[in-house]
Amino acid sequence: MKKKQKNILPRKSNTLKLSFDTSWTYAPAPESRTSATIQPRYDLFINGKWTKPESGKYFETINPANEETLSEIAEANAADVNKAVAAARNAYEKYWKKLPAKERGKYIFRIARMMQEKSRELAIIESLDGGKPIRESRDFDIPEAANHFFYYAGWADKLDYAFPGKKTASLGVAGQIIPWNFPLLMAAWKIAPALATGNTVVLKPAETTPLTALKLAELIQEADLPPGVVNIITGAGETGAALVQHPDINKIAFTGSTEVGKMILRAVAGTNKKLTLELGGKAANIIFEDAPLDQAVEGIINGIFFNQGHVCCAGSRLYIQESVANTVIRKLKDRIETLIVGDPLDKNTDIGAINSKKQLETIHYYIKTGIQEGAEIYESSCRLPSKGFWCKPTLFLNVAQSSRIAQEEIFGPVLAILTFRTDDEVIEKANNTPYGLSAGVWTDKGSRIFNMTRKMRAGVVWANTYNKFDPTSPFGGYKESGFGREGGLHGLMPYLHLSNLIPNSTRK
């Protein structure tokens, strides 16, 4: 798809006169679909086999960029959940918990290597099913997912060194539920640490993006993982609820909305199930007047428009110090004009399709709310494709701190812009939402970075960068963004019982 590129070079300035034509286009550079195999229909992956759903029902997963059906997906009900949990229990008791840790590690390494080998196919399928630009699935989602398997493979036989003075024991069967914004990466965040710590798994991917998890099931089958160690069951919210309520589950790991997270918290209250919740966010990205402004603008663009703003830690609130507000806003307006919105499979695309019609409606609802609340809207002048679900990169200026677009998660390419004068003022404003997942600080001064990071109630605070991830770093929230950490050494803990090697009573 050809997109008009305007203003890619600096606007007219007093010192630089551009004497050549700045309006030009990129030639389309589409990734070929032919290297991706998608079956017309997928059953449930239970006990190492593809199993028909008890209900006989299937639902469609579509490509949100053109609304075409990609495949039919089995809908698991409570009876299927029972089967999957029984398979995971059996594999845990008979095989997985007795397997020497280094052998577990070898399986996990094998999965990581196979993901790398199939990375191109996985990237294409991720972009087709979810709408994200191929550049992101190719350069971020898939390599990062493989890295998680590599990283946790290394921990499998070193758990005794991970927690000195403690004895570690696996929990049993983990029920894992993931959202649609990073489908394969979230599956990796869940499955890799669970296997490394000796647990077996039943995973439920999101309804709109099940394909890469099902491709992962194919890899797991090829990797010869013992049957039942990983089970992947597809379905809607009811399937997830049945998994949460199953009495033979030892641990629930959930990533998704705060609303569903609260329901899950209520459902496991009073049971022995361990729980981690990775929920929503409303991150503040803060620019001080001493920041390198061009670098900060790029970071802000990346922070909110990366993956169409379908990012729990998206920098969706921008706080600019008053003295540089006009400059930064002008640079942001210029920059969003150059963002290419369109075909997710085109390697030039910056912003792909919104994941579903429902999510697009949510985003439109918030854009309407922002206008009604009196904020000033500024959208890119790009043209959107006629089919599929699309949203222009959108800025809101003069946003009030109490406004809903500054307080609630929109989960789309919409940035609320506010200003501040002092450090204390911005700390108070940044912390003033129900969430606390992430934040960003842009400044030249190291002391200011340390002051801000100490006082911000957010699980991750990036300084002079944004949206950087690594399997070795723990990730997780404060307040209504959830509890528990995924990634790094901390990510092992939610899947283990830790007991003292030397009982307290014998200690001198």
The catalytic residue positions are 278, 312
Write out the binding residues for Mg ion, residues 31-70 only, by CB under 5 A.
61
Give the phi and the psi of residue 98 in degrees, each rounded to 5: -90, -10
- The three-class DSSP label of residue 108 is helix
Residue whose CB is less far from ligand NAP, 312 or 391: 312
220, 230 contact by CB (below 8 A): yes
**Which tokens hold the place of 320?**
């600019």
Query: Shortest distance, CB of residue 219 to Mg ion, whole angstroms?
Result: 20
Q: Which does 61 bind (CB under 5 to 8 A by kind): ligand NAP, Mg ion, none?
A: Mg ion
Residue whose CB is less far from ligand NAP, 87 or 264: 264
- Asked if 350 interacts with Mg ion (CB under 5 A), we say no
Q: Which does 280 bind (CB under 5 to 8 A by kind): Mg ion, ligand NAP, none?
A: ligand NAP
Residue whose CB is less far from ligand NAP, 254 or 288: 254
Geometric angle at alpha carbon 302, from 298 and 191, rounded to 5°: 150
- Asked if 129 interacts with Mg ion (CB under 5 A), we say yes
Query: Shortest distance, CB of residue 224 to ligand NAP, whole angstroms?
Result: 28
Give the phi and the psi of residue 177 in degrees, each rounded to 5: -130, 130
Query: Shortest distance, CB of residue 271 to ligand NAP, whole angstroms?
Result: 15
- Classify the C-alpha dihedral 165-472-315-185 as positive or negative: negative
Q: Which does 234 bind (CB under 5 to 8 A by kind): ligand NAP, Mg ion, none?
A: none
Residue whose CB is less far from ligand NAP, 156 or 493: 493
Residues that bind ligand NAP (CB under 6 A): 177-181, 204, 206-207, 236-237, 240-241, 244, 255-257, 260, 263-264, 278-281, 312, 409, 411, 437, 477, 481-482
Query: Shortest distance, CB of residue 263 to ligand NAP, whole angstroms?
Result: 5
- Asked if 71 interacts with Mg ion (CB under 5 A), we say no
9, 22 contact by CB (below 8 A): yes
Residue whose CB is less far from ligand NAP, 411 or 495: 411
Residue whose CB is less far from ligand NAP, 244 or 304: 244
Overall residue count recorded for the chain in this entry: 508
Q: Which does 349 bind (CB under 5 to 8 A by kind): ligand NAP, Mg ion, none?
A: none
Write out the binding residues for Mg ion, residues 199-228 only, by CB under 5 A.
208
Query: Shortest distance, CB of residue 347 to Mg ion, whole angstroms?
Result: 21
317, 351 contact by CB (below 8 A): no
**Which tokens hold the place of 383?**
């043209």
Q: Which does 314 bind (CB under 5 to 8 A by kind): Mg ion, ligand NAP, none?
A: none
Which residues, including other chains, have CB under 8 Å from residue 178's CB and lie 6 or more apart?
A: 186, 187, 190, 203, 204, 205, 206, 213, 255, 256
**Cα distance between the two ends of the chain:** 73
**DSSP secondary structure, 234-274, as one string:** ---HHHHHHHHH-TT--EEEEES-HHHHHHHHHHHTTSS-E
Q: Which does 301 bind (CB under 5 to 8 A by kind): Mg ion, ligand NAP, none?
A: none
Query: Shortest distance, CB of residue 133 to ligand NAP, whole angstroms?
Result: 18
Geometric angle at alpha carbon 395, from 389 and 399, rounded to 5°: 125
Which residues, including other chains, have CB under 8 Å from residue 358's CB and lie 6 or more apart?
A: none
Would you tell me which residues interact with Mg ion (CB under 5 A)? 61, 129, 208
